[in-house]
Chains A and B, each alone.
Chain A
Amino acid sequence: MIEAFLLAMRQLQTKKVRTLLILLGISVGVAAVVGVTSLGEGIRVNAVEEIEKSHDLTLIEVSPGVSNGNIILITESKVRAVREYGSVVAPYVKDAYVTPNKTYFEVNGISAEYMDAKNLQLEAGMWLEEGTYQIVLGSDIGEKFSKIEGVEIGNAIDARIRLYGEEGRAIDKDITFMIAGRLKPTGTDTDDQAFIDMNIARELTGKDVYDGIMVKLDKSGQAPAVRTAIEKLGLTCYSAQDEIDSVNKIMNAVTLVLAFFSSISLIVGGLMIINTMIVSVYERTHEIGITKAIGASESDIIRLFLSECIIIGVLGGILGDLLGVIFSILIDTVGRPMLIAQLGIADFEHLTVINIQILAAGFLISLVISVIAGIYPAWRGAKLDPVKALRQL
């Protein structure tokens, strides 16, 4: 078999220009696929990194579940069950309050564990004291209060909560909170939330269940197992992994479509190989006649031609990968500053990502297309009538 390749190599060397042109044809196609795929992969990696940066992958947010139309509430016993799985388990309640100036804001009734689980950090003021009507504001809501309500840390803020009595009648309750501190901006929905002591919150609303649980894990690797376990309790789970999964799903689809369109150039490359090999069979008709007379079988002839195609495929794959890397670097150097300037997105390291899978795929595509393209010409060569072939000069 190695000899078949050496013989094929010889044939290709005698037609250097032609071979070089086919190689370029196939490798440009591979390069297009590699480049486009690297762009898709780059966008995906950047999106995932962005999610990982702004989200905590070791955090699972548990909310009430729904089963057969019934709502599964987070009761004390559920909280106890969940405590088995996380290193920090923080149940909380959530209610909507409104100020006299009609600023609606979300208030979470939390315990100290919640602060650990969400890694909340103060920017100014102090943390709330348990058992008091103190409130800590997220960075955005804090800013809003200072602008609209004119209240700062240390000031009191009036708030009203609407509750519903047994007959469904609305009962409004007025409370005054003391602003204890303000949190650092996080870029998450925490910025729009305010926090009070959980026991105070439950006292105000008379709730005997929780609205959610924050479950903090030691390692993000535990997340899938813990999630499954909590979901078995009938509760709903959410984690940043959900977003990563959906980004992966979307980007895979987008990349596939892009790669499909860029692979049209590969079809052209394949047709080039078919054409060149047919010409080659025609030119070598006489030689094929001789080869048959000295004992070559049809499969020997096919092997000779396919060996040439395999060499073209391998060289085309390598060259295509090289061009693809260059193409990808080009997209990165030209496209990245343009994107940053136009969209004003936060700086990211690379717009394109090349990995071994992309290169392997590019190489394989070249090889497979070359071999498929060679089958028909090789078959035609093998089927030549030796007498006619020998007569042709």
Chain B
Amino acid sequence: MWMVETQGLSKYYTFGSGNQVVALNDVNLTVESGEFVSIMGPSGSGKSTLLNIVGCLDKPTSGDVYIDDAKIDYGNAGSLVQLHRQTMGFVFQGFNLISTMNAMENVWYPMYFNKVPKPERKKRAEELLESVGLRDRALHLPSELSGGEQQRVAIARSLANHPRLILADEPTGNIDSRTGKMIIDLMKKLNKEQGITFIVTTHDKAMANNADRVITITDGEIVD
């Protein structure tokens, strides 16, 4: 059973002048459930676009994506929202925490949209912050946390609704290598202990070395 499968996935951007840029070209990719896949490639190679399409934030120009063997209907906003709420979590390069909310609130926010009852939300947020070692930073705003701490809060947030797939776009890109190592270890641990599938785009060799499989993308195509 595939966690993620893409068939002939292509994405073109057409600019006002009529110029077309190929971001993805006929990408066929399968990711097994419980796999830790790292996607490498130079900037502009299309790895982020691939992640955004698999993550239902963007639409492909052609081709299909299957998650849990179910074809994604990109026209059905309701089903995409359900995927975001229940199946997948995101970790971004720039952390993307909400600046007006403290660490705790950032972690419970996805559960708020997923209509998790309030007491349960609070309990789970505490547990998740505990698991990323930030229990004592729960009431701090993102601006009061270091980059590594913010990314750990972001990981805790991505886990809020028990996702089976985490999509991480250069999660160590904005932090120093020592802290980056901590983040990689944390993600590996979640992958091993909870069987969460990870698709991680990266420039980081250390990240790639920890992956079950490394996929390289150049000019929108998978190289090997």
Contact = CB atoms under 8 A, between A and B. Distances in A.
A296 B113 contact: yes
A292 B84 contact: yes
Contacts of A293: 55, 57, 84, 90, 96
Interface string A343-371: 00000000000000000000000000000
B85 to A, nearest CB: 4
Interface in A276-293: 286-287, 289-293
B12 interface: no
Interface stretch (A102-110, A118-126, A385-393): A385-393
A387 B113 contact: no
A286 B101 CA distance: 14
Contacts of A390: 57, 92, 96
B55 to A, nearest CB: 7
A290 B118 CA distance: 21
A343 B52 CA distance: 77
A291 B85 CA distance: 11
Interface string A293-305: 1111110100000
A10 B98 CA distance: 12
A77 interface: no
A300 B113 contact: yes
B96 A295 contact: no
Contact of B114 (A14, A287, A295): A295
Tell me if A's interface is mostly helix, strand, loop or mixed. Answer: helix
Contacts of B98: 287, 290-291
**B interface, size bucket:** 20 to 34
A208 interface: no
Contacts of B90: 293-294
B100 A387 contact: no
Interface string B29-57: 00000000000000000000000100101
Contacts, number: 55
Contact of B100 (A14, A295, A386, A393): A14
A297 B110 contact: no
Given A294-B90, A297-B113, A11 B118 contact: no
A3 B112 contact: yes
Nearest to B58: A387
Interface in A6-28: 10-11, 14
A289 B57 CA distance: 9
Interface in B74-105: 77-78, 81, 84-85, 89-90, 92, 94, 96-101
B108 to A, nearest CB: 10
A294 B89 CA distance: 7
B151 interface: no
A93 B38 CA distance: 111
Nearest to A296: B113
A387 B112 contact: no
B81 A297 contact: yes
A286 B99 CA distance: 11
A3 B114 contact: no
B91 to A, nearest CB: 10
A281 B77 CA distance: 21
Which of A11, A286, A290, A390 has the largest number of chain B CB atoms within 10 A? A290
Contacts of A10: 100-101
Contact of A297 (B77, B92, B157): B77
Given A292-B57, A387-B58, A297 B96 contact: no
Given A11-B100, A290-B96, A295 B110 contact: yes
A297 B55 contact: no
B110 A386 contact: no
Contacts of A289: 96
Given A3-B118, A14-B100, A300-B113, A295 B84 contact: yes
A178 to B, nearest CB: 94
A292 to B, nearest CB: 7
Interface string A133-169: 0000000000000000000000000000000000000
Contacts of B85: 295
27 contacts: A3-B112, A3-B118, A10-B101, A11-B100, A14-B100, A287-B99, A289-B96, A290-B97, A291-B98, A291-B113, A292-B57, A292-B84, A293-B84, A294-B89, A294-B90, A294-B109, A294-B113, A294-B157, A294-B160, A295-B81, A295-B161, A296-B113, A297-B77, A297-B81, A297-B113, A387-B52, A387-B58
Interface of A: 3, 10-11, 14, 286-287, 289-298, 300, 386-387, 390, 393
4 tightest A-B CB contacts, nearest first: A295-B85, A294-B110, A295-B84, A295-B113
Given A289-B96, A295-B114, A387-B57, 10 more contacts: A293-B55, A293-B90, A294-B109, A294-B157, A296-B113, A297-B78, A297-B113, A386-B58, A387-B58, A393-B94
Interface of B: 52, 55, 57-58, 77-78, 81, 84-85, 89-90, 92, 94, 96-101, 109-110, 112-114, 118, 157, 160-161
